[in-house]
Amino acid sequence: MGDNIIYVSDLDGTLLMDDGEISVYTRENLIRLLNAGVNFTVASARSIPSLQQLLHGIPFRLPVIEINGAFISDFATGKHLVINDMRTDLLETIYGYITGYNCMPFISTFNGDEDRLYYQTLPNDGMQWYFDNRRLAGDRRLCKVKRLQDVFVDDVVAFTVVNTRQQLINLATKMMADFADELQMHFFENPYSPPWYWLTIHDKKACKSVAIRELLSYGGFELKDLVVFGDNLNDVNMFKMSPRAVAVSNASDQIKKLATEVIGNSHEDSVIKYVMAAEGIAGS
């Protein structure tokens, strides 16, 4: 496509296999593409520790977008180049909404030195699954506290609420209505731990489209150079802003309607095959 093209891909349901892992084929050929000078990076709901564990050994030159745009970070070091944190005066209010619906959140922050993933209690199996998943991955962000409100001195980038759909639906509906102009929110079933639903809450600036514009500016790219790949609702904003938005065939109907092109399924290595064909590089 040209030297200035930049490819930005979602991970889960897009670049990754159904089990949330990267295939050997995609890993090997992504390394080949990056070593050949192709501009490729990822924009994910995952955090940098999760990205580093999952994508270890892949030589990303461009920064990665994590936690749906809350951070733009150097992949190798984890250093945050951009932090889109939440307004301090909203934090108590958000926490009050969550606890008012008999839920407890995880809270993702940056304390000036390192990232933290705080929790107070783990009252359901969905929260326990997330805790176990992060603990087994060696995620050093995990930190138990006696009072979650005490962490509001940090740069707070996300509240993550995990509960049943029935328990969360009213909270999600209320928050989306009351904070539509101030916050970004995503309500979805976690495909790796059904039937548990997640509500993630971020600052309005912490979305993939805003982060991608910042990334384009950082790397000296223009909007016309952008190609994005995605599958789900947290990709809507980046699909709306990109001149070339490529959906995998397993994407939601809403994403397919916004796409300029639909390719094969995520478990068929479709994203990496698309990039290789566009760049004229044969598969290994």
pTM value? 0.92
- Is 88-203 in CATH node 3.40.50.150? no
Q: What is the structure's pLDDT at 284?
A: 66
Q: What is the structure's pLDDT at 281?
A: 86
pLDDT tens by residue, the chain, 284 residues? 556 899 999 999 999 999 999 999 999 999 999 999 999 999 999 999 999 999 999 999 999 999 999 999 999 999 999 999 999 999 999 999 999 999 999 999 999 999 999 999 999 999 999 999 999 999 999 999 999 999 999 999 999 999 999 999 999 999 999 999 999 999 999 989 999 999 999 999 999 999 999 999 999 999 999 999 999 989 999 999 999 999 999 999 999 999 999 999 999 999 999 999 999 987 66
Within the chain, all domains assigned CATH 3.30.1240.10 are found at 88-203
Nearest partner of 255 among 26, 266, 129, 168, judged by Cα: 266
Within the chain, all domains assigned CATH 3.40.50.1000 are found at 6-83+207-279
Strands 197-203 and 155-163: antiparallel
- φ/ψ of residue 28, rounded to 5: -65, -40
DSSP of 132-185: HHHHHTT-TTEEE-S-GGGGGGSEEEEEEEEE-HHHHHHHHHHHHHHTTTTEEE
CATH topology of domain 6-83+207-279: Rossmann fold (3.40.50)
> What's the pLDDT tens digit per position in 217-245?
999 999 999 999 999 989 999 999 999 99
Q: What is the structure's pLDDT at 1?
A: 53
- φ/ψ of residue 195, rounded to 5: -100, 30
Please list the helix, strand and coil fractions of the chain in percent, rounded to the nearest 5, in that order.
40, 25, 35
